[in-house]
Amino acid sequence: MANFSFVDFYIGYPGHPRFRDPEIIEDDLVRVIIQKYEMILFTNKGELLGDPNFGGDLTALLHETRLSSASIEADIRAQIADYIPEIEGIEYELVVEFFDHPDRHLEYMVISFTLAGYQVYATVT
């Protein structure tokens, strides 16, 4: 693993499953990676001033008819490679799946990310 300074701002909020009392600095490598991963997922491309390529753009990708879960997974992996250098040399699992909700007549995407015992699930509708 490369030698990185992985200190970052703590961005937890009340209601988050792993919320801790307010802190300013996050210095645990795995939690820093998880925070950065969540920022990628919940940011649309073009929303970050100065970097129009940052973000998962998941809401737009969900309704693209020609995209497979493998292509969305590849896009997220590319975002991780570009924006989370701390993850280099650390094994992680990323799975993207599509499902239909028959009662509501819509589709949704579930993204599962596992890293060092942490599991992060995101559902995009």
Token readout for 32 is 């820093």
Q: What are the tens digits of pLDDT across the range 29-55?
A: 888 899 899 999 999 999 999 999 999
Q: What is the pLDDT of residue 103?
A: 83
| Spatial separation of the C-alpha atoms in residues 57 and 35, rounded to whole Å | 17
Q: Is the pLDDT of residue 81 over 90?
A: yes
Note the pLDDT of residue 32.
87
Model pLDDT for residues 17-36, shown as the tens digit of each residue: 666 676 656 668 888 899 89
What are the structural domains of the chain?
A: 8-89 (3.10.450.40)
Q: How far apart are CA 88 and CA 80, in angstroms?
A: 10
